[in-house]
A and B are shown apart, each in its own frame.
Chain A
C-alpha cells in the first residue's frame, strides 16, 4: 500500500507545515487547515491531525497541518505581536501559500480547544474561511449546566461519601467555604479572552451572513462548561445564528479523543461536513 502523498511546506516566517495531497483534488473542494492544540505540535492530540488529514485527502480535499510561530518545529516570530494576533497572521500566511501553490481560495479550519479560538479569530479576520469547526471552544454555561454538574458529582460518590457530604453540610454549615461560583462564561483554557454572549452571537451572525459555515462541537469532558445537548439554545435563546450553525454535543467523546473509536467517529463527522461544503454559497438570511 502506498502512503498518502505528503510534502513538507515552509511559508510565512519559515513556518513548518505538512501538506497532505489527494491523488485528484475534488471539483470545488476547499483546502483544510488543521491547527495546533495548546503547546502540542502539528500532529495534534493522539496524532489526530495526521489521521484527519489522510482521511480527508483520500476524499479529494488537500489538508495542511501546521505549527504556529514558536510551536512544534516552527521558529518563534521575531515580531512582538500578541500570541493571538500572531496566530492569525501565521494562518493567513498558510492560506496565502495554499492559494499560491494549489490555486484554492476557500478554507475549512479545524481547531480543538485553543485551536478553536485561533480558528474563530481567523474566520472573523479573513473571508477565505468557508468553514470553521470549533471543537471545545468557547463555553457558555447556564443554570441547568450548574445543576447537572452537581448531579454528576453526586453520582460519582459512593453512599458513604454522599452521607458524609450531607453531615459536613449540616455540622459545618457556618464554616462552609464561600459558595463556589459557577464558572462564568469561559474558554476551557483561561488564558484566552472569552467574548460576551452578545459579542459571540454577533460574530457568529457575521460569519453566517458572510457565508462561512460553522460547526460548534462539544465533548463530554467539560461538565463545568458544557454538559447537555441544547445548552446553546438555553444560553442564546432565539439568536439567529443557532438556526444556521451545526451544533453537536457528544457526552461519550472526550476532549482529546482518547479512544480510537471516538477518533473514528469525529473524523467521519468532520469529513462528511467538509464534503458538504464543496461549492457552498452564502446563506440568505
Chain B
C-alpha cells in the first residue's frame, strides 16, 4: 500500500500530511482526515492511521494532516486556533485536489478538528462533498473547563507529592490553567474562540451532507442536534458507544483503536448506511 508522508504549504506555514493512495480508486472518493488538538491529537494518531489504511484498501484516496501548531506541522502549540485551522483545511483540500484531480472530498474531523471543519463547512461547501464529525467540540466553554480539570488530574496522577495549590487554584480562579492544558499551550485566540463556540449557534449550510458520530449521552452534541433540527438543517446522527478516553495520558493502557467509531466512520464514508 502506498503511503507518502510529505510537507506542504508556504515556507512560513509548513503543514505535515500523509497521503494514502487508493489501492483501486473509486471515482469521486477522496477523504480528508483532520486531527484534533493537544493531547487528543496524540490519542487519535493510531486510529487515524488505521482508518486511512482501511479506506485506502477500500478504494479511497486519503490525506491526513496536522493543523499548524500541532503534530509535525510548523508552529508552536500556541500557533493553533480554530480560524487558522480553517485556513489549513482549505490548504489541505487544495493539496488533495492537486493529488487526485477530484474537486470534492469527504472531510472527517474529530474533537476540535471536527469543530474547525464544521465552522468552515459553509465557505468550503463547493469542495466538501460530505462532512463527518466524530465527538466534535461544540460547546467551547465547557470544553475548556474539562481541559482545566483534566490538567490538574494529570498532575495529581503524575506526582507522588501533590501541590494542594493546584486543586485550590482550579476551584477558586476560573482563569487558571487556561493557557496550557495537559502539556500543550493554548493561545488567547483559541481561548476566545472556544468561549464563543456554542452548539446553539453553529448552523450548518443547507445542502451539506452532515454526519455526526458521538456518544448518545453527549449533552453538548444533543444541544447541537436540537439546534440543527430547529433550523431545518439536514443531518444524520449516529450514536455510538465507545470507551475511548480522548485526554488520557499516553502512559495508560487505554484503547488505541476503538472498534465502534472505526466501523461507523468507515460505513459512513463508504455510503453503507443502516
Please list the residues of chain A having a beta carbon within 8 angstroms of any beta carbon in chain B. Answer: 1-4, 6-8, 10, 16, 18, 37-43, 45-48, 50-51, 72-73, 75, 113, 149, 152, 155-156, 220-221, 223, 227, 251, 254-260, 263
Contact = CB atoms under 8 A, between A and B. Distances in A.
B6 A220 contact: no
B62 to A, nearest CB: 13
B162 interface: yes
A258 B151 contact: yes
Nearest to B151: A258
B3 A2 contact: no
B14 A3 contact: yes
Most chain A Cβ neighbours within 10 Å, of B39, B249, B251: B251
Given A18-B16, A39-B256, A254 B72 contact: no
Contacts of B268: none
Interface of B: 3, 5-7, 11-14, 16, 18, 39, 42, 45-46, 49, 70-72, 74-77, 151, 154-155, 158-162, 180, 182-185, 249-251, 256
12 contacts: A3-B11, A3-B14, A37-B250, A38-B251, A41-B45, A47-B184, A50-B72, A73-B3, A149-B160, A152-B160, A257-B183, A260-B183
A256 B249 contact: yes
Contacts, number: 105
Given A46-B39, A263-B183, A2 B158 contact: no
B155 A258 contact: yes
A10 B256 CA distance: 25
Contact of A3 (B3, B42, B74, B160): B74
Contacts of A2: 11-12
Given A2-B12, A3-B12, A73-B5, A254 B158 contact: yes
A223 B183 contact: no
Most chain B Cβ neighbours within 10 Å, of A50, A72, A257, A263: A50
B5 A45 contact: no
Closest 5 CB pairs of A and B: A46-B183, A3-B74, A223-B160, A254-B158, A3-B14
B39 A227 contact: no
A258 B6 contact: no
B161 A156 contact: yes
B5 A1 contact: no
B71 A43 contact: yes
B161 A6 contact: no
Contact of B183 (A8, A75, A258): A258
Nearest to B158: A254
Contact of B250 (A4, A73, A254, A256): A256
